[in-house]
Amino acid sequence: MTHDVLIVGAGPVGTALALALRHRGLDVAMVDSRVRGASGGDPRVLALSLGSCHTLRRLGAWGALDSTPIRHIHVSQEAAFGRTLIDAAELGVDALGHVVRAGDLARALDGALGDDDGLTMIEGSRVASLEAGDDDVVVGLDGERTAVRARLVACAEGGIDESAPDVVSRDYHQHAVITLATPERPHENRAFERFTAGGPLALLPFGSRYAVVHTASPDTAEHLAALDDVEYMAEVERRLAGRVRLTRVEPRLRFPLMLRYRRVPVGARTVWLGNAAQTLHPVAGQGFNLALRDVWALATAISENGARDVGEAPVLARYARARRMDRRATIGVTDALARLFSNDIGPLAALRGAGLLTLDACPPLRGLLARTMMFGARAWS
C-alpha cells in the first residue's frame, strides 16, 4: 500500500499539516518516534502572530487554546537613545498576536485532529531511511520489518543535521534563558523587546505573568541561571530601566541559539518543515509562525494538484516558489536583528537609535513592520 502523504513527526507542525490535509480525499499517514500526545508536555512559551491565529482557527484548533493577547509592544535599546511603540488599535486589530504555552498548542491541535478515520498513525517508530524513487518514497522504520511507502514525505520532526547538504549554519554564541515572572502591576497586554549588548531581552504577557526570554553570552547565561530569584528579578528590572517591577520568578531554563536552515527545503518527493527546515533565533518570535505559513502553503499546493500525484516535482516546485520570498525575508530579518542589535558598538547603537526614532515618527513604516511580523512577506503585496 502506498500512502499519498507520510508526515514524519506528530508535534505541532506535523499535526497542523495533517489538519490542513484532512477532508481533501487523501490517504495520509503520520509516524512519530514518541507516543501520540507527547508534545503536550512542552513547557516553552510561543508568540503566535495574528496570521498564525487565523490559520489555527481554520484548522479548528483555536477554540480550545488558552492564549493571552499582545496589544502593545515597547521596543527599545539599552544604554542608548531611541524607542518605538507598536499598538494594535493603531493598526485596527484587537491584538498583534497571542502568547501560548507550546504544550497547550500541541494538545489543541491533537484534539482538533481527534480520531480521524482518514489518518494512519504509526507511534513509537523512528525513521531510519528515506529512498525516493520515480513513483514514491520507501521509508524504513526502526524495529519494523515492512517499509512504509508514500508519494510524498513531509519531514516535520527534529532539527537539521549540520552535515546535510545545502545547509547554512551560524552559531550566535548566545544562550536563551527562559522563565515566567509575575509583575508587581498588571501587564495590560504589553510586551517588551529590549536590545542589549549581550542579546535581546523579551517579556511577553502570558496569563497574569510575563514569559521572559533573556538572551546573553553562554557565560552570562550560566550566571543568570545561577542567580537567586531576587537577584535575577533585579537584573531584569535593571535591564529594562525600571519599566517593569517583578515580585516572583519561576525556575530558569537555558539553551544555545543557532541559525540553521536548508537553502532549498524540498527534494525528490520530500519536503522539510518547521525545525527540520529552519531553526531561527527567537528574536521577533518567528520560528513557529514561519512553519505554520509553510504548512498552509504546502496543503494549498497539494490541493491545487487535484487527484494527481501529490509528490510529483511540479507540486513541490510550485510550493517552493510560493514560499521563497517570505522564507528568505523572515530568515534574513531575524538573523540581521540578532546580529546588529547584540553589540555595544557606538556607531551601530546610534544607527539603531535613529532607526527606532524613525519608526516611532512614521506610522506607515511602523505599520508595515507590524503587518510583516503578523502576516509574513505577503503584507508587502
16 lies in some domain: yes
Return the pLDDT at 336.
Answer: 86
Total number of domains constituting the chain: 1
| Whether residue 57 has pLDDT greater than 60 | yes
Higher pLDDT, 32 or 165: 32
pTM for this one?
A: 0.92
Return the pLDDT at 361.
Answer: 74
Return the pLDDT at 325.
Answer: 94
224 lies in some domain: no
| Whether residue 140 has pLDDT greater than 50 | yes
Higher pLDDT, 162 or 182: 182
DSSP per-residue string spanning 173-240 = EEEEEEEEEEESS--TTEEEEEEETTEEEEEEEETTEEEEEEEE-HHHHHHHHHS-HHHHHHHHHHHT
Mean pLDDT of 67-78: 93
d(CA 172, CA 336): 11
d(CA 126, CA 34): 8
Mean pLDDT of 162-185: 92
Return the pLDDT at 304.
Answer: 86
d(CA 200, CA 91): 25
Higher pLDDT, 7 or 381: 7
229 lies in some domain: no
Question: Grid coordinates in use for 243?
Answer: 519599566
- When mean pLDDT is compared across 6-10, 42-46, 144-148, 354-358, the lowest value belongs to 354-358
- What are the pLDDT digits (tens) for 82-98? 789 999 999 999 999 99
Question: Grid coordinates in use for 93?
Answer: 486589530
Mean pLDDT of 125-149: 90
Mean pLDDT of 228-248: 97
Return the pLDDT at 381.
Answer: 41
Residue 312 · residue 302 · CB < 8 Å:
no
> In angstroms, what is the C-alpha Rg of the chain?
21
What is the domain-level CATH number for residue 108? 3.50.50.60
Question: Grid coordinates in use for 355?
Answer: 532607526
* Residue 138 domain boundaries: 2-70+96-167+258-340
| Whether residue 137 has pLDDT greater than 60 | yes
Higher pLDDT, 115 or 38: 38
Return the pLDDT at 363.
Answer: 79
- What are the pLDDT digits (tens) for 314-367? 999 999 999 999 999 999 989 988 887 776 666 666 776 677 767 667 778 777
d(CA 57, CA 96): 16
Sequence-distant (6+) residues with CB within 8 A of 204 are: 45, 47, 70, 99, 191, 210, 211, 212, 213, 285
Return the pLDDT at 348.
Answer: 64
Return the pLDDT at 225.
Answer: 95
Mean pLDDT of 206-223: 96
379 lies in some domain: no
208 lies in some domain: no
- What are the pLDDT digits (tens) for 276-313? 999 999 987 899 999 999 999 999 999 887 768 999 99
- What are the pLDDT digits (tens) for 20-42? 999 888 999 999 998 888 899 99
SS3 271: strand
211 lies in some domain: no
370 lies in some domain: no
- From the list 367, 372, 361, the residue with the least C-alpha distance to 87 is 367
SS3 379: helix
141 lies in some domain: yes
Return the pLDDT at 49.
Answer: 94
Give the chain's mean pLDDT: 90
- What are the pLDDT digits (tens) for 367-381? 777 777 777 756 544
Residue 203: pLDDT band (50, 70, 90) is very high
| Whether residue 80 has pLDDT greater than 80 | no
In this prediction, what percent of the chain has a pLDDT beyond 70? 94
User: For 222-247, b where at least 16 C-beta lie within 10 A, e where not — what string?
Assistant: eebbeeeeeebbebbbebbeeebebe
